[in-house]
């Protein structure tokens, strides 16, 4: 059972890292469940301190993920359409077989969203699309950083209790 929980935890952490750049999965929260899976093994003692702090961080990032792109757009004069367009552009950019398609897609999506909101002002649309894009990048970087730290915690704890987890 311990081996199953370790493998499950590692898979959840990998999904958490992927979810940091894919808008479909809640990256840090998924990664936190990977940490929880490791602490549920019989060999690794439950560390409520680490689990509590990492859960709070995952929850905070989950909330901020919805706020930061909007703040970026508003700082540059954008609308909700720009933020929505950035997210849709990211998804479309992931599907396209071009390098950094998700980055280009996020910017183009934000621009299209702003032009839908107000098709007469290209300068404002470009400025707010840039703001949406900056907010999106900040949010994605924050999620990726937290997910990678969760992976480091996991690997550290796994290395500490490796002999108890894998007796062969």
**How far apart are alpha carbons 33 and 16 in whole angstroms?**
9
pLDDT average, residue stretch 67-80: 74
Q: Average of pLDDT values for 113-136?
A: 83
In the prediction, which pLDDT does 70 show? Answer: 67
- Please compute Rg for the chain using Cα positions: 19
Tokens of 4: 């199953």
Q: Which domain holds residue 152?
A: 2-165
What H or E segment, with its residue span, contains residue 37? helix 27-39
Question: Which residue would you say has higher pLDDT here, 1 or 17?
Answer: 17
Overall domain count for the chain: 1
pLDDT at 154: 94
Using 50, 70 and 90 to split pLDDT, how confident is the model at 168? low
Residue 3's pLDDT is what? 87
Q: Which residue has the higher pLDDT, 108 or 91?
A: 108
Whole-angstrom distance, CA of residue 117 vs CA of residue 78: 9
What confidence tier does 167 reach under pLDDT thresholds 50, 70, 90? low
Which residues have a Cβ under 8 Å from the Cβ of 41 and sit 6 or more positions away?
A: 1, 2, 5, 6, 161, 165
Does residue 148 have a pLDDT over 80? yes
Nearest to 36 by CA among 51, 14, 58, 15: 51
């Amino acid at each position: 059972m311990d081996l199953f929980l370790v493998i499950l935890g590692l898979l959840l952490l990998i999904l958490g890292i992927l979810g940091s750049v894919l808008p479909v999965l809640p990256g840090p929260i998924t990664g936190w469940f990977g940490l929880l899976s490791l602490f549920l093994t019989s060999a690794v003692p439950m560390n409520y301190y680490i689990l509590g702090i990492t859960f709070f961080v995952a929850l905070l990032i989950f909330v901020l993920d919805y706020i930061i792109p909007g703040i970026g757009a508003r700082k540059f004069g954008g609308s909700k359409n720009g933020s929505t367009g950035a997210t849709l552009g990211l998804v479309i950019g992931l599907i396209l077989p071009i390098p950094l398609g998700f980055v280009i897609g996020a910017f183009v999506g934000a621009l299209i969203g702003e032009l839908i909101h107000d098709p007469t002002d290209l300068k404002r649309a470009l400025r707010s699309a840039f703001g949406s894009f900056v907010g999106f990048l900040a949010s994605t970087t924050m999620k990726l950083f937290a997910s990678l730290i969760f992976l480091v915690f996991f690997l550290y704890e796994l290395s500490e209790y490796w002999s108890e987890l894998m007796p062969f």
